[in-house]
Amino acid sequence: MSKIYNVVVLGLGGIGRAHIKGVLNTPSCKLYAICDTSQEAIDLAKKDYPDVPAVKDYKELLADENVDLVIVATPDFVHAEQAVAALQVGKHVLCEKPLAMGMDDVDKIVSAVEAASSKFMIGQVCRYAPGFRKAKELVDEGKIGKLFFVESEYAHNYGRARGVGDWRVNPLRDPMVGGGCHAVDLLRWVAGEMKSVSALSNHFCLTDWPVNDCTISIFQFENGVIGKVMASIGCVRPYTMRSVFYGTEGTIICDNTSDHIQLSSPKTNPEKGNAFVDIPVDINNHNVTAELQDFMDAIVNDKPVLTNVYEGARTVAAATAASLSAREGGKPVVIRKF
Ligand SMILES: NC(=O)c1ccc[n+]([C@@H]2O[C@H](COP(=O)([O-])OP(=O)(O)OC[C@H]3O[C@@H](n4cnc5c(N)ncnc54)[C@H](O)[C@@H]3O)[C@@H](O)[C@H]2O)c1
């Protein structure tokens, strides 16, 4: 009989509870225990999962040799401490995005992964959103020719969500890194490595927030492609990541919240010319189940992890470079390589 992996989830907020469902939907995994420092969060989770042991101190779970895999779904500034500690005792780790809020913590996690015998995945879950997967497949098949401009966004309204996670109100948590990392990672995945960035930001919506709430970043890619990311945490609209990929022979418009993407590709649809054709996709923005199942495939079959620690590090490096550029009034910043 094949091994069942004992999984623990640290952090029982919105995304931690999504991960619990991901574990329960993954046949090679057992939800072994859950953890949160807040009794309220534990009580809420226990209503749905009364038989699953819950603890307040994650170190108790790291000391348990039966635990195989740790899902780190705690606030951004906790990722480094928990991921490093779990790797040091040989646990596999699936860590929520962003890898960390800043490069010092990124370096700590990269070093711990390099020293570990276990596997690590960064949860850049947009790579599992059906609309983005379909768009990437079409780009890779050459349906829109050679990319020359790509754009994406993280358009959110934290004003509405305030109280859910007040750790987000932190002068050290730049929205370009905390949320914008999704759009940066998507563009890196689709178009290649980023070389440098110039960004501007302003502060019109969440005026009581300690950081600027909107950043526009222009990225230069190593292959000559130009990219743009808009990260706003105060815009008044439903959450989405509207993205457009422009190629020499066509264009794709896609997002993570619609049931279709749009393709303009005269060579694929000659009868339509350059008109957009709708391609249906599932809506599954937080597809943490597919993410975990991919990670389990890498663990069980000893394969490389696609969204490995270097992917997480490159994304945070690009996002923090954009944040620095914006603070310096748009000065171009070279992005650190990993
Ligand atoms: N992949 C995505 O699309 C996505 C979506 C939302 C959030 N996130 C990321 O997931 C993480 C959690 O976000 P959230 O929205 O679920 O936050 P949240 O505020 O809803 O929940 C965080 C939980 O972690 C708990 N916690 C804090 N410190 C802890 C510690 N040391 N040990 C154990 N528990 C602790 C809090 O009590 C809280 O219950 C963040 O890193 C965030 O950026 C990712």
pLDDT tens digits, 110-132: 999 999 999 999 999 999 999 99
Each residue of 148-160: pLDDT tens digit?
999 999 999 987 6
Each residue of 65-102: pLDDT tens digit?
999 999 999 999 999 999 999 999 999 999 999 999 99
pLDDT of residue 208: 87
Tell me, yes or no, if the pTM score tops 0.85: yes
Q: Is the pLDDT of residue 163 over 60?
A: no
CB atoms within 10 A of CB 262: 17
Query: 3-state DSSP call for residue 264?
Result: strand
CA–CA separation, 280 and 32 (whole Å):
37
Query: 3-state DSSP call for residue 89?
Result: coil
Angle at 294 (CA atoms; ends 107, 112), nearest 5 degrees: 20
CA–CA separation, 18 and 105 (whole Å):
25
CATH 3.40.50.720 boundaries in the chain: 5-124+288-306
Each residue of 253-291: pLDDT tens digit?
999 999 999 999 999 999 999 999 999 999 999 999 999
**Candidates 8, 9, 10, 15: which one to mutate for ligand 1, based on the most atoms within 8 Å of Cβ?**
15
CA–CA separation, 14 and 228 (whole Å):
28
CATH numeric code, 5-124+288-306: 3.40.50.720
Ligand 1 pocket check for 76: Cβ under 6 Å? yes
Q: Which CATH class is domain 127-284+317-334?
A: alpha beta
Protein residue whose Cα sits closest to atom 33 of ligand 1: 36
CATH 3.30.360.10 boundaries in the chain: 127-284+317-334
The partner residues of 147 in beta bridges, in order of sequence, read 247
Query: Residue 35 contacts by C-beta under 8 Å, 6 or more apart in sequence?
Result: 8, 9, 10, 11, 12, 54, 55, 56, 57, 58, 60, 61
Protein residue whose Cα sits closest to atom 25 of ligand 1: 11
Ligand 1 pocket check for 236: Cβ under 6 Å? no
Average pLDDT over residues 316-337: 98
Q: How far apart are the first and last CA of the chain?
A: 39
One-letter amino acid at 40 equals E
pLDDT of residue 166: 83
User: pLDDT confidence of 337, banded at 50, 70, 90?
Assistant: very high
**Phi then psi dihedrals of residue 285, to 5 deg:** -65, -45
Calculate how far, in angstroms, residue 316's C-alpha sits from the geometric centre of ligand 1: 18
One-letter amino acid at 305 equals V
Protein residue whose Cα sits closest to atom 5 of ligand 1: 15
